[in-house]
Structure 1
Amino acid sequence: MKIRKFAAALLALVLCLSLSLPAAFAEAQQRVELKNLTVNVKCTGNAIPDEQLTIRLTPRKKAPMPGDAAALEAFVNTADCTRSNGYMTTATFPETFVFTAPGTYEYEVAQQKGSSLNGTYDTRTMVLRVTVSWSGDTLVAVAKVYEAGQSSNDKEDSILFNNTFNNSAPDDPYDPPYIPGDPYTPDPKPTPVVPTPETPVNPPVLDARPDTTPTVSTVTPTVPAAETPVNPPVADARAPKLIQTGQLNWPVPVLAGLGTLFLAAGVILLTKKKEDDNA
């Protein structure tokens, strides 16, 4: 009796295990992951700087993000673009993207513009499209890339941003444009001659005291100009008149009287002198 009960219990346990294992296996297959998403960055030219560029990834609509992040960033250094690696470097997003249901999920990937004045940066926005579907009992994901604003039928397998750095215009005879595969050897540019200003051996010392010399202002008198009458008098052009007879009658008696007076005075003086002599 006990053996039968033990066998029945063992059978029930086996049935439970047989039902739960496929369910757990099926649940484990209801997800697909994308890891280590990479973006290629190429830098060419004759003046590649040493700067860090930022690659930014943002979701479209409700595409799942690692940790529900609003955006992800990866970084590259332009100095890593060397001839040995084809002037290319790689930015990697180390986060894991998890998809648990079939569908199409899109993400925008863009390179932020750098700060080099000699750089021409690739500022396109690329769209990463992840298509999740069933393959039998397993979810599979296929990722393709296309440029935003372009046909989604023109898909690529990877993201590539091209940047160019030149230290002068292409028509500069001293600095020809970059040609892939050819070593760059710039011609020496002439060095401008800058004249050196002459410095006096003993420069004069300027007097810093304020100038206290009084200022004398000379006022020049203004001589008024002679006024010219509007109607100047007309000079008499006639000949002067001669003295008429009778105009000299009055001086004659005066002169005669004066002569008589002088004569009388002379007589008196002579008489007085004689009297003095006789005495």
Structure 2
Amino acid sequence: MNSLSSPTSPRRPWVGPPAEPHQMQIAERVQAQLRPQASPRLKTLEFAGQCLPGRVVGGDFYDFLEPEPGRMALILGDVSGHGVPAALMMAALQASIRSHYTLSSSPLTPRIESVNRQFFDCTAAEHYAGLFIGEYEDETRRLRYANCGHVAPLLLRADGSVERLRATGTVLGMFENWRGSLREVTLGHDDTLVLVTDGIIEASDSYEGEFGELRLLSTIMRFRDLDPPGLIRAIARDVRLSCGRRPFDDATIVAARAVGPARTINGGV
């Protein structure tokens, strides 16, 4: 295990040999068993998630947690690597996040700092993770979030404008101490938020290149009137049509749409 004394010294990424088929089957089972079995019920947000299997299995995961009634933690992560090692590290990271929400009522930043420290201490040097974690308040439709080196989620406003929820901090597990900050957005009625792992962005064929953010945004805009499960299916279909085959890497999509009235605070929503 690599132990670093400097909070600014990164671990060295490492790429191992390709996994054997039976290892990939084990990784797929681990990933499938850890998907959310139940989701919070909210008045102002519809949401869904789906993991799309690729020709190799990586460390993708998503989760919807309910720290208290009327508040939801929306999580999407991607551990580096493929096969059983990545799947096991994904399971460990997800369990750590869940335990921090079950056993602690601390604010979001200390939670992330603690999760990062555990992940750094308990994993080998080759593992790190991009993570988006946001806490959504049902009454106000406010989303406080940290983007830990993850693909920037796309927020399509009802008026057609687009906002990118870019990185606010370092990836998890690469540094002993997490450095970052929180940001906040308020979702308006019919705003759509889409989060993906890099398996969507980097899905490619030999002719058209990567699927990319522009195609993803085009798909979201064409199918924005669908509910979150329908929008996810539309994105998955366009990715497969673009690639002409099953993407190499596994990929995960989370979609959410603001619905219903929100409580007015200080004259605004």
The two structures have a TM-score, normalised by structure 1, of: 0.24
Larger radius of gyration: 1
The two structures have a TM-score, normalised by structure 2, of: 0.25
Point out which structure has higher relative CO (alpha carbons under 8 A, 6+ apart): 2
More helix by share: 2
